[in-house]
Structure 1
Amino acid sequence: MAALNPFRVGMIGYGLSAKIFHIPYIQAIPSFKLQAICQRNPSNDDDAAKDHPDVTIHRTPEELIKDSEVDVVIIGTPPVTHLTLTKQALEAGKHVVVEKPFCPTAAECDELIKCAKDNDKVLTVFQNRRWDTDFLTLVELLRHESLGRIVEFETHFDRWSPHAPQGWKGDQNPGQGVVYDLGSHLIDQVVNLFGMPKKITGFIHRQRQPPTDLEDSCTVLLHYNGMLAIVKASVMSLQLKQLRFKVRGDSGGYKKYHLDPQEPQLKAGMKLDHPHFGREPEEDYGILTVVDKDKEIVERRYPSLDPVTYLGFYKSLASALLGQSPVPVEAKDARDVIYLIELARKSAQEGRTLDVE
């Protein structure tokens, strides 16, 4: 599916997000054309103009937003800038994709949702891990396999990262820290599966030594009627196999290790049209545990689905821009994730479980 005239995309920011999560997918879909990039401070080994000689290069976000040749703006800058830049782009008549986390506060998200409505523009948030192969496989498993009533759902994004990141990601500014960064992915997936929880309990940590201002690890408990969802992200998890999902039902269980492979594959230079792109090897398949017809407990590998990849987000966006389908991620859904993050941080600060209104 391609628009008669492709939607012209302007990318604000030229870091990892732009290079790995956005530009390769935009360039792979005929409905889009990479029209412009905003990079403030190029260097000899990091220069958007050299990487994309046929693309207009701007030095400030305001220049790109004013560019009449741009139809869709992607905001790939630090979260504290999302409100201002997204609002400017919407008011300039652009459709907008905002990197997650949407904004530091739910109130700011509400302001942008209203702004998009007032200007009749598409606004969506790049919650790309809804298109992870491991998550889509789990959705399929829960739909078709009889785990029975789910009593506990555990989702992890753990790693061994004892040193604080450099640059803006190493600072504890509004909208930063682990529960905004990785937690926004994990909470979004839980809410996507089960809806909003009834209560929330948050534990936010600084596991690195010496400690920095950055909140680097978290455990968030999302309380549902008869089920507990556990969201965990740690920077001190030294494991050859990192746990990704663990699901307990009253008639079955499921355990999965390793993250979706798209990010490391792109970092290693693999192209989207490679036959192994996004595909999980058999040794990374999850383990399904059930009771067979003879009442014996048995385990078997549960094959991962063929990858949709993050092309799924942009194909859905193209359809939404043509008025043929909803946006890939509703801004209100991303706003609800930020609301839960705010509650989790408040819960951690006050040392108590909070109701989710």
Structure 2
Amino acid sequence: MANSTTNLPLNVGVVGYGLSATIFHIPFITTTSTLKLHSILQRNPSQSGKSAPRDHPGVKHFTSLDQFLADADLDVAVITTPPETHFSFAQQALQAGKHVLVEKPFVPSVSEADALIKLAREKGRLICVYQNRRWDSDFLTVRKLLADGTLGRIVEFETHFDRFRLEKPSTWKGTLGMDQGGSALYDLGTHLIDQAYVLFGMPRSVFGILASQRDGLLLGPQNPDLEPDSVTAQLFYDDGLVVFVRIASVSVETRQPRFWIRGTKGSYRKEGLDTQEPQLRSGLKTDDANFGRESPEWNGKLTLVGDDGSFRVQDCPNVEPETYSKLFELFGEALVRNRQEDLPVPASQARDVLQIIEATKESARSQRQIQLSQ
């Protein structure tokens, strides 16, 4: 059994040593006071490529999951491997008595999510999902606009991840099928649907269109096995709100759209993606004063209606960034207290998002609107 959560910092082991581990997890684990990078599992360290033992000589290194999980000093397993491994690896980690943080997409199916949630409860361990884009600065700005009532009652919410990438990715994002947690729906769609879920909860129903823009094909009766690089989903809510989720691989724009939100008092438009990922890839440190900050040229635009019916347009800079560091801070605090309700992204919420994703797939295949149980 791992150390008691009263012993700080908690020993964290990372499974995998690809982009997710090196860019999105290890830099934050090493700067979170309640956490300590204890070990890394990399099956095949490379002499010329990525090598965890070379990059992190001061921690333990493993090439076998069984040996990694058998370490009695390990408290937390962070799973950063491709999504088809998430269920098996998380299951084994929980059975070994470890707390677990799983990269998104959590698992490929609702049934697998339910099984892990049940196992974590039986073992008295916590399982959290890495939905880091809840801490994008533009999304935090949107949350504040809605919480403050700046836009009034929201009637349409449009959220985009659009790119111009004619070449299919050679990573799992382009090689795994949807049944294994691959495709644009699970990769990028998980982020966008999760953000909509955070803001508005479960929709009443879903209508989805999944396509391969690169190949000019549509998922449906004629192409039942198509793996999409494009998503158009509509989430319908009881108060009349419609959320549009949009992902494109063929979008020739110098300023890609991000948000377009319309309400009874105003609207908000935003272009460009959050800066944290490109900053991390470029080597910017997580404690740098500029981390998470955008240039003013990418400020969003607010259009507000006055009491006399006139429109006023103004810049809307992002709120002060909390950055992805906040997810790890909250995760560490939840582990210290061993409280499920304190987790920044409980697995039960990721399970709800998977239900919306599965409804989107069913809708696209059947070409009809799918009702969701509330």
CA distance in 2, matches of 1:231, 1:328: 23
Task: Measure the CA separation in 2 of the matches of 1:32 and 1:338.
Answer: 29
Shift in Å at residue 66 of structure 1? 1.7
5 Å-filtered alignment, 1:1-357, equals 5-43=8-46, 44-173=48-177, 174-209=180-215, 214-225=227-238, 226-323=240-337, 326-357=342-373
Task: Extract structure 1 runs of 4+ deviating beyond 6 A.
Answer: none
Contact 1:12 1:39 in 2 (8 A): yes
SS at match of 2:364: helix
Q: What are the Cα deviations for residues 201-243 of structure 1, in whole angstroms up to 9, with x where unaligned?
A: 1111111148796421111110112110000111111211111
Give the secondary structure class of the aligned counterpart of 1:157: strand
Q: Deviations over 1:95-128 (max 9, x none)?
A: 0001111111100000000000000001110011
Do the aligned partners of residues 13 and 206 (structure 1) sit closer, same or farther apart at CA in structure 2, a change above 3 Å counting?
Answer: same
Task: Tell whether the 8 Å contact from 1:14 to 1:48 is kept in structure 2 after alignment.
Answer: yes
Which sections of structure 1, spanning at least 5 residues, go unmatched? none
SS of residue in 1 equivalent to 2:243: strand
8 Å Cα contact 2:269-2:301 kept in structure 1: yes
Shift of 1:168: 2.8
Distance across 2 between alignment mates of 1:165 and 1:42 = 23
The TM-score, its normalising length taken from structure 1, stands at 0.96
Question: Counterpart amino acid of 1:29?
Answer: T
RMSD between aligned residues: 1.7
Contact 2:211–2:226 (CA under 8 A) maintained in structure 1: no
Which consecutive residues of structure 2, in runs of 5 or more, have no partner in the other structure? Answer: 218-224
Query: Aligned AA for 2:245?
Result: V
Paired amino acid for 2:67 = E
Q: Percent identity?
A: 45
SS at match of 1:332: helix
CA distance in 2, matches of 1:146, 1:218: 29
| Kept in 2: contact 1:171–1:213 (CA 8 A) | no
The answer to whether the Cα contact below 8 Å between 2:259 and 2:270 also exists between their aligned partners in 1 is: yes
Distance in 1 of aligned mates of 2:184 and 2:194: 14
Q: For the Cα contact (< 8 Å) 2:38–2:74, is it kept in 1?
A: yes
Deviations 1:133-178 (A, max 9, x none): 1101110011114312211000011111110111333213311111
**Does the 8 Å CA contact 2:176/2:182 hold for their aligned counterparts?**
yes
Q: What are the Cα deviations for residues 218-277 of structure 1, in whole angstroms up to 9, with x where unaligned? A: 111101121100001111112111111100112211101111101100111111121111
Equivalents in 1 of 2:363, 2:216: separation in Å? 25
The amino acid of 1:339's aligned partner reads: Q
CA distance in 2, matches of 1:167, 1:142: 36
Distance, in Å, in 2 between the alignment partners of 1:28 and 1:108 is 32
Secondary structure of the equivalent of 1:74? strand
**Matched residue type, 1:313:** L
Partner of 1:138: helix, strand, or coil?
Answer: helix
Letter in 2 for 1:215: P
> What amino acid is aligned across from residue 341 of structure 1 in structure 2?
I
